[in-house]
């Protein structure tokens, strides 16, 4: 594929004032001017300043970049895999998956460079507006590279119910108390799964910074312990339903729940689909679902510079066009083609063709792209990275 360069002239960065949009602040939407200066939000409110570039966004809403509370980035190169209709426990699925990844059908993808597989997961998230992702897995230096599509949580600990008591305890002890410690546990409905939370509690690993991933097998009394300790939950309803045939919304933990997709190999697609599934399973309002991927997720994962719009904060933004519904409802019904622009550190990554002047104001050279049949513009540097990788994204053409 050859890149079609639309705007190859790089100008000196300027402060750009986005006017007329609803800014999605923690206390609700307000029509204010947002000024981007280099990689951060220069100000909220007030008027454009002399020398600013100005771009009118009347009829749009600006949200903070979304947060995916749990993913395994390198497993997104695979389509969904399961070898039986329903599993009683995720441990059974992991055993089947291990065999499947060695099969001739998946061997080529398994053998891809690890950095390419991670990149594929990052791109999946970027295209659905998730600019920050918690990747559960060994840290790889490619996650810190400037060319990586999204930001990943760097400061956290993690473990797994398949680990020994000693391994779980060592992981917990190595995690600073002001960083999240995640553990995949109670991933099913077997007796062992239902004892999962009791097990880590007995090990002294259930405290305020503990974050349970999945937790389907948790018992009613486990909810009491989670509330007592202040621990939280990452909920992945789509993969729960795909693998285990059931998911459980834990309403007592509301405001301590982040949404996670998990990888595509476990049946998920992207964060937009996860938000829709969470709403259908919980009956929560669009605003509360949005909080699970912004403010609540940032608090749970100890991310002070993510999940909210604030002066001095990173300009990780998504822009969405409004219809007759409110901004939260517009986000909840959105598909990835509905994102008018995604910015990371103030640099547009992908956006609508009509936003070409904003790409230029923000000093970003572009290439033509097509996403799910819709013409788009993409950062030229991102497009080049995609073409270098061996992992094409379904629905994306350059």
| Token pair listed for 143 | 């996650």
Per-residue pLDDT of the chain (398 residues; tens, 9 = 90+): 445 544 444 445 579 999 999 999 999 999 999 999 989 999 999 999 999 999 999 999 999 999 999 999 999 999 999 999 999 999 899 999 988 888 877 888 889 999 999 999 999 999 999 999 999 988 899 999 999 999 999 999 999 988 999 999 999 999 999 999 999 999 999 998 999 999 999 999 999 999 999 999 999 899 999 999 999 999 999 999 999 999 999 999 999 999 999 999 999 999 999 999 999 999 999 999 999 999 999 999 999 999 999 999 999 999 999 999 999 999 999 999 999 999 999 999 999 999 999 999 999 999 999 999 999 999 999 999 999 987 889 999 99
Indicate the helix (H) or strand (E) that contains 349: strand 347-352
Query: Which residues in the chain are classed under CATH 2.30.40.10?
Result: 9-64+309-362
Query: Which residues in the chain are classed under CATH 3.20.20.140?
Result: 67-300
| Token pair listed for 94 | 């992991």
Closest alpha carbon to 238 in 46, 357, 70: 70
**pTM of structure:** 0.95
Provide the phi-psi class of 142: left if phi over 0, else alpha when psi is between -120 and 50, else beta.
alpha
Task: Supply the CATH classification number for the domain 9-64+309-362.
Answer: 2.30.40.10
Cβ atoms 280, 137 nearer than 8 A: no
What are the beta bridge partners of residue 211? 182, 232
- Report domain 67-300's class: alpha beta
């Amino acid at each position: 594929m050859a890149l079609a360069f639309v705007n190859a002239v790089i100008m000196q960065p300027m402060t750009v004032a986005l006017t007329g949009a609803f800014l999605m602040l923690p206390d609700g939407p307000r029509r204010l001017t947002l000024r981007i200066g280099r990689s951060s939000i220069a100000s909220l409110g007030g008027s454009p300043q002399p020398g600013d570039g100005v771009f009118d966004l009347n009829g749009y809403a600006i949200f903070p970049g979304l947060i995916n509370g749990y993913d395994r980035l390198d497993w997104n190169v695979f389509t969904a895999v399961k070898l039986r209709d329903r599993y009683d426990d995720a441990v059974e699925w992991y055993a089947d998956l291990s065999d499947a990844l060695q099969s001739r059908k998946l061997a080529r993808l398994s053998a891809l460079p690890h950095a390419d597989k991670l990149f594929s997961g990052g791109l999946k998230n970027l295209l659905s507006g998730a600019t920050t992702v918690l990747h559960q897995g060994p840290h790889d230096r490619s996650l810190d590279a400037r060319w990586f599509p999204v930001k990943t949580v760097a400061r956290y600990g993690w473990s797994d119910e398949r680990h020994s008591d000693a391994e779980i305890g060592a992981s917990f002890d190595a995690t600073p108390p002001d960083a999240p410690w995640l553990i995949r546990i109670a991933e099913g409905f077997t007796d062992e799964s239902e004892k999962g939370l009791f097990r880590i509690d007995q090990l002294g690993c259930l405290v305020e910074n503990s974050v349970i991933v999945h937790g389907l097998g948790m018992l009613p009394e486990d909810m009491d312990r989670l509330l007592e300790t202040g621990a939280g939950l990452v909920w992945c309803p789509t993969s729960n339903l795909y693998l285990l045939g059931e998911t459980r919304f834990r309403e007592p933990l509301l405001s301590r729940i982040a949404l996670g997709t998990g990888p595509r190999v476990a049946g998920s697609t992207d964060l937009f689909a996860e938000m829709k599934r969470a709403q259908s399973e919980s009956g929560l309002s669009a605003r509360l679902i949005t909080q699970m991927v912004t403010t609540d997720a940032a608090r749970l994962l100890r991310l002070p510079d993510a999940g909210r719009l604030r002066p001095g904060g990173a300009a990780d933004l998504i822009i969405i066009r409004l219809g007759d519904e409110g901004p939260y409802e517009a986000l909840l019904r959105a598909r990835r083609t509905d994102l008018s622009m995604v910015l990371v550190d103030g640099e547009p990554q992908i956006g609508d063709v009509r936003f070409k002047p904003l790409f230029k104001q923000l000093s970003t050279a572009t290439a033509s792209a097509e996403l799910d049949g819709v013409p788009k513009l993409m950062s030229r540097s991102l497009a080049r990275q995609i073409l270098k990788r061996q992992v094409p994204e379904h629905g994306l053409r350059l």
